Amino acid sequence: MNELAAANGAERTQALLNLTTRLTDLIVRETRMFQAHRPQDALSLQAEKSELAALYRSEVSRAGREPSRFSGASQTIKLSLRKATELFHSALTENGHAVGAAKQVTEGVVKAIADEAVRQRTAGGGYGPGAGQPAGNTGFALAINQTA
């Protein structure tokens, strides 16, 4: 599906309003999942969100090229679409912040793990006066009893 099903401009405007509202709802739900530190839950929304986003982009692009596609729509529905579009853009901004924050946290964790792996690999070892003992060594102690 790459075009809204509509017989005229009024129906198309209402369909775009419905699409915008549904897409906004998905974005808001995804944002809440990221804010709750549960980004894995957002995976269930991706297929529908991608499909609706592609349809939205296509329809908005067509509207820019052919403004007459919405002729016949009432001022009330056009105003509702304008408000829904503003809410959509606001939801996208908030979503961008939540996703960006999650990305920073994830990158920080990955960097800390990589830094620790490098530190453990390069920790000194060996024998003699200049040898080092890796920090946090979980070796064991051995005692020998010479009574035997």
pLDDT in tens, 120-132: 777 655 666 655 5
For residue 19, which of 57, 46, 45, 47 has the smallest C-alpha distance?
57
This prediction's pTM:
0.70
Residues with Cβ within 8 Å of 21's Cβ and at least 6 positions away in sequence, in order, are 84
Domain ranges across the chain? 9-122
Higher pLDDT, 145 or 4: 4
Domain 9-122 has CATH 1.20.58: yes
